[in-house]
Amino acid sequence: MADFETPELKEYPVIPHLQEGVMAHSRPFVAKEEFQEQLGFPGELVDNWEQVALDKMKELTGKYRGFQVFLDSCVKCGACTDKCHYYLGTSDPKNMPVARQDLLRKVYRRNFTFAGKYFPKLVGAVDLTKEVLDDWYSYFHQCSQCRRCSVFCPYGIDTAEISMAAREIMDCVGVGQKYCNEIIGKVYKIGNNLGLPQPALLDTLEGLEEEVEEDTAVKVRFPLDEKGADILVVTPSADFFAEPHVDGLIGYAKVFHEAGISWTLSSHASEAANFGMFIGSYENMRKVSLRIREAALDLGVKRIVMGECGHAWRVAYSFLNTLAGPFDFLDPKYPVPQHILEFTHDLIQRDALTLDKSANDDMVLTYHDSCNVARASRMGSRPGGQFTIPRDVIRASCNHFFDMPQDTIHEATYCCGGGGGLLTDDLMELRVKGALPRMEALKQVVEEHGVTHMNRHGYFSRRHGKERSDVSPLRRG
């Protein structure tokens, strides 16, 4: 592994002393021309990039009211300074949310405010230079857009919005991030982030059918592109590909089987994740979202259910109707879309699933609230449903559950490192260091309660003929 120091897990969280510039070297790979152009961005840094960037900033402040308010309203109170996992894990002061925002705010002030135009030194306003752009590239890729800081900001300033705008500006001048942009291109070409073509999906799903039947002697189906099914399920493509993600997908299939409701996956919309949000690009977010609409229309389904993925749920819950609606062709009795956990929770409430909790007695569980589910969306019909529904489902399927400390769950949940378009090996140092607060919280419940598994969401997978909740290590954001 790479040559950096893994932060020590302490007994109590400690706010670190500042180490200026200690993460200035952290930069993800820059997207090549081909990855930029398939998203409609210039292939390399354009000649008049300063002007293009400022024009874009102006356009975004006009388009997104919140963005302008966030740039104008910070009073430097410092409430956010110790709330970011990347600051706590790296000690770099530019990873304090206020400092991260200021990287962009100081250029905004210089060009768009009276004080910054005439008295720049007094208000910390600076010109946009190549050094500033480099800092943007480095530090706006050290924000996982988790929004934890916004919970503690008395003005509700959301650093995620500023990071997204900064990335959009950088894409528009030709400096995009390889990880996100290559992946979005794959969705356009093939239908999902991994680039799994339809025959590979089919082969994988057939294998899962065989496996579940061998394990349980029950023929549970994993339908793909089946017209006339009631429900279209859209889930992250990692669920087809990776371990232990696939246990989630197996669980969904079993829940649908038990519920006796017809469902299908789609090869056209074989991706719930929407990296268009990470790069702050409305157009790309919309293009990815429209695939769900197209698949729903083509397959003639009545409902849409989303598989587990934090930011996918934010896009689905908060933006899908705006991006790809109206969904007046779906059954109005159900929410559009519905989360797999809402769906499962409803079945449990109606006693439509038989669960044997004792089959999970070998596990002691805790639950990680996904940032985007906790702070950027909701679930079910009651306030706070995004906190209670997953826990209800876990409690219904296992006897041993303990929450992590109060200031690390619910709306104060810490990032798992999976979100914000940073889940890439070229940012491994950042990922390891940024995991510190979440790992410390986990360590506490492991030591106090003997927790063996951290559940990101309630999964079901039946083994040895019994229902059990399967859990997976923390991955997603």
Partner 1 sequence: MGSIEANGKNYETDEEGYLADLNTWDKDVAEVMAKLDDCELTDNHWEVINFLREYYEEYQIAPAVRVLTKAIGKKLGKDKGNSKYLYELFPYGPAKQACKYAGLPKPTGCV
Tally Cβ neighbours within 10 Å of residue 304.
23
Residues 5-34 that bind partner 1 (CB under 8 A): 29
The first and second tokens of residue 351, run together, are 């006693």
243 sits near partner 1 (criterion: CB under 8 A): yes
Among 40, 62, 156, 197, binds partner 1 (CB under 8 A): 197
Cα gap 325→309, rounded to integer Å:
21
DSSP 412-472: GPPP-S--TT--SGGGHHHHHHHTHHHHHHHHHHHHHH---EEESS-EE--BTTB--EE--
Q: Considering the complex, what minimum distance in angstroms separates the CB of residue 386 from partner 1? A: 20
Instruction: Report which secondary-structure segment, H or E, holds 384.
Output: none
What residues pair up with 304 in beta bridges, in sequence order?
A: 232
DSSP letter at 303 equals E
Looking at the Cβ atoms of 314 and 395, the one nearer to partner 1 is 314
SS (H, E, C) 49-97: HHHHHHHHHHHHHHHCHHHHHHHHHCCCCCCCCCCCHHHHHHCCHHHCH
Residue number, 243 or 351, with CB nearest to partner 1: 243
The one segment of 121-129, 188-196, 285-293, 346-354 that binds partner 1 by CB under 8 A: 188-196
Range list of β-strands (E), 217-340: 231-234, 263-264, 303-306, 338-339
Contact (CB, 8 A) for 87 and 100: no
Between 162 and 376, name the residue whose CB sits nearer to partner 1: 376
Total residues binding partner 1 (CB under 8 A): 36
- CA dist., res. 318 & res. 467, Å (int): 33
- Looking at 148, 375, 456, 475, which residue binds partner 1 (CB under 8 A)? 475
Selected from 36, 61, 95, 192, the binder of partner 1 by CB under 8 A is 192
Per CB under 8 A, which region of 240-248, 253-261, 315-323, 408-416 contacts partner 1? 240-248
| Selection from 443, 449, 466, 469 nearest residue 7 by Cα | 443
In the bound complex, what is the minimum distance in angstroms from residue 419's beta carbon to partner 1? 9
What is the distance between the alpha carbons of residues 225 and 201, in angstroms, rounded to a whole number?
Answer: 11
The one among 24, 200, 412, 446 contacting partner 1 by CB under 8 A: 200
Decide: is 44 part of the binding site for partner 1 (CB under 8 A).
Answer: no
Binding mask 249-288 for partner 1 (x = CB under 8 A): ------------------------x---------------
Pick one of 2, 47, 65, 199: the residue that binds partner 1 (CB under 8 A): 199
**Contact by Cβ (8 Å): 323, 286:** yes
Output 309 or 396, the one with its CB closest to partner 1.
309
User: Which residues in the 206-225 window bind partner 1 by CB under 8 A?
Assistant: 207-208, 211
Asked if 194 interacts with partner 1 (CB under 8 A), we say yes
What is the DSSP-derived secondary structure letter of residue 359?
A: G
Q: Which residues touch 214 (CB under 8 Å, ≥6 apart)?
A: none
Beta carbon of residue 432, minimum distance to partner 1 (angstroms, whole number): 15
| Closest distance to partner 1 from the beta carbon of 452 (Å) | 17
Asked if residue 309 binds partner 1 (CB under 8 A), the reply is yes
β pairing state of 365-367 and 338-339: unpaired
Under rule CB under 8 A, residue 35 binds partner 1: no
User: Do residues 230 and 301 make contact, with C-beta atoms less than 8 angstroms apart?
Assistant: yes
Which of positions 360-399 make contact with partner 1 (CB under 8 A)? none
Q: How far is the CB of 1 from partner 1 (least distance, A)?
A: 9
| Contact status: 95 vs partner 1 (CB under 8 A) | no
Nearest to 412 by CA among 437, 393, 394, 429: 437
326 upstream amide cis, omega within 30 of 0 = yes
Closer residue to partner 1 in complex, CB, 179/367: 179
Binding to partner 1 (CB under 8 A) within 128-187 occurs at 178-179, 182-183, 186
Q: Which is nearer to partner 1, 56 or 178 (CB)?
A: 178
What residues line the site for partner 1 (CB under 8 A)?
29, 178-179, 182-183, 186, 192-197, 199-200, 203-204, 207-208, 211, 236-238, 240-243, 245-246, 273, 309, 418, 423, 425-426, 475-476
